Structure 1
Amino acid sequence: MPTSASPTRKIAAIGAVLALVVAVIAIGVAVGKAVENGRDTAASPTAPGAASVAPQEDAGQQKLYDDLAARTSRRTAGDPLAVGKPDAPVVLVEYADYQCSFCGKFTRETQPALVKKFVDAGTLRIEFRNFPVFGADSERAARASWAAGRQGKFWQLHDELYAETRKGDALAEDKLVELARTAGVPDLAKFRDDLGGPAAAAALKKDQDEGYQLGVQSTPSFLVNGRPIAGAQETQVFEQAIEQAAAQAGKSGKHGGAGAGK
């Protein structure tokens, strides 16, 4: 009698679980889809039936989330698009678009509370991914945020962009330069060059490719140590997910991950 499943059956089982998680992400994040053709098109993230934190999973599903976290959590020291210790036990990865009103809601209402409660305590690291889904204006804003990061001002420009919902011409290059000035970007000529340069395009493509490979289709979309959260949920939903992930990390003895401290 064989002592383990055949390789074919193992591959089939892994494929089925991966398909399940991709479906969870693709369906769940749909409640956070926002700002298309000049108006919000998404259901409220707090609407009845909206997905939030998944219930406790079995060991196989937990391993899958651990694997997803290892794939998506970059943990690069000095990453200008991240805040928090590289070896923090929990990493929240956000895929967002600068024309997305629910992304702005998360930035204004939830992220500051998470930074104060978890990032400052060394429990959480937040890593931002530029995932523009609303066309050229969103892509330009994404490149601008990356360019600001080259001068250590990513989060300052990020917060300016999300201070209100900006669409279309509000994200023209000249407007972005003025926002960069307000955000304290010191060298605006370099900012313009970086915004339009090949390195910005490559960085944007890297983030987009990562999201598409996971099945992300709309924004905002989040992974908390590999576990998906749908849309800009209430702050307590994120707090619960972070606390669960921290407890799981402590139980498994995992603090930090691949790439920590780079």
Structure 2
Amino acid sequence: MSTARKKKNIAVVAAVAVAAGALGLASYTATKPDDSGSKGSSAAAAKGSDSAAPEAGVFPELEALARRDAKDALAQGKADAPVVMIEFADFKCGFCGKFARDTEPDLVKKYVDNGTLRIEWRNFPIFGEDSERAARGAWAAGEQGRFWQFHEAAYADGAKEKGFREGRLKELAREAGVKDVPRFLRDAESDAAKAAVKKDQDQGYKLGATSTPSFLINGRPIAGAQPQSVFEEAIEKAAASRAKGGKGGSGK
């Protein structure tokens, strides 16, 4: 390998490390435990995101993590949408459920449906065996084109409290409209499912994510179930920047 190429590779790795550090710090600060209750936790999350994630903190190295695979069953929206939101989440995470129920559906209606936004899911199970099983189940549902329906069922009010053991996964698969449930159960325990989940999980850890949910919007880190306005502002900035021929949401 030439000296110039080595220097370029080192520079890219260093840039990713700096960008990942921003996501990791924002992730911890925005979602760390708060003894003041759910309302206080939400306020702390918003405050944490503002202080930890730079206002104009857009990193091309992180934007490049978007897969844009038209066949990706764990994604929705056009593969060539101007904005991609990568979401690292866990089905046992209460804040993830809040985002899935209260914010994501509106973002889909407002931005995915009109072709502006693509959402790419990354399984990031951090709460033990139940989280791992749910992640593999979600992947297995995706193998039959029912990932987002499984996602909705698994994040319904009270769903995580019931756990995600095999019997419960079977129920969720039926709620999601998975046609071949025996195949679903086999797929959920397959080496392919384990490898897919590990790939996503490893990527999250490599980026420094310490809690869920964590997001990248065209390379801009956002951590926690932030108010909808935070996501809308980031999406619109990224779309405007892309329309001007810029990178990410920074307008550069």
| TM range, smaller chain | 0.7 to 0.9
Matched residue, 2:166: 173
* Aligned pairs for 1:77-226 within 5 A: 77-167=70-160, 170-226=163-219
In the alignment, structure 1 residue 44 sits paired with structure 2 residue 38 = no
Matched residue, 2:62: 68
Matched residue, 1:32: 31
Unaligned runs of 5+ in 1: 1-5, 35-39, 256-262
Amino acid at match of 2:63: A
1:118 aligned counterpart, secondary structure: helix
Q: Structure 1 residues 195, 16: closer, same or farther in 2, change over 3 A? A: closer
Matched residue, 1:259: none
Contact 2:27-2:209 at 8 Å conserved across structures: yes
1:228 aligned counterpart, secondary structure: strand
Amino acid at match of 1:195: A
Amino acid at match of 2:235: I
The whole-number CA distance in structure 1 between the counterparts of 2:179 and 2:13 is: 49
The whole-number CA distance in structure 1 between the counterparts of 2:9 and 2:188 is: 43
Contact 2:88-2:122 at 8 Å conserved across structures: yes
2:132 aligned counterpart, secondary structure: helix
Q: Structure 1 residues 14, 81: closer, same or farther in 2, change over 3 A? A: closer
Instruction: Provide TM-score, normalisation by structure 1.
Output: 0.82
The whole-number CA distance in structure 1 between the counterparts of 2:61 and 2:158 is: 35
Comparing 23-32 and 75-84, the one that deviates more = 23-32
The whole-number CA distance in structure 1 between the counterparts of 2:6 and 2:192 is: 41
Contact 1:33-1:42 at 8 Å conserved across structures: no
Aligned residue pairs total 238
Residues 45-101 of structure 1 deviation map (CA, whole Å, 9 limit, x = unaligned)? 4326321463235xxxx4xx122111x100001211000000001000000000000
The whole-number CA distance in structure 2 between the counterparts of 1:206 and 1:224 is: 20
Residues 214-245 of structure 1 deviation map (CA, whole Å, 9 limit, x = unaligned)? 11121000000011001000000000000111
Q: Structure 1 residues 236, 188: closer, same or farther in 2, change over 3 A? A: same
Contact 2:17-2:207 at 8 Å conserved across structures: no
RMSD: 2.7
1:252 aligned counterpart, secondary structure: coil
The whole-number CA distance in structure 2 between the counterparts of 1:248 and 1:69 is: 13
In the alignment, structure 1 residue 247 sits paired with structure 2 residue 231 = no
How far off is 1:21 after superposition?
Answer: 2.2
Instruction: Provide TM-score, normalisation by structure 2.
Output: 0.85
The whole-number CA distance in structure 2 between the counterparts of 1:186 and 1:56 is: 45
Comparing 208-217 and 226-235, the one that deviates more = 208-217
Contact 2:138-2:151 at 8 Å conserved across structures: yes
Residues 148-177 of structure 1 deviation map (CA, whole Å, 9 limit, x = unaligned)? 011111000111000025447621111110
Contact 1:29-1:230 at 8 Å conserved across structures: yes
Matched residue, 1:37: none
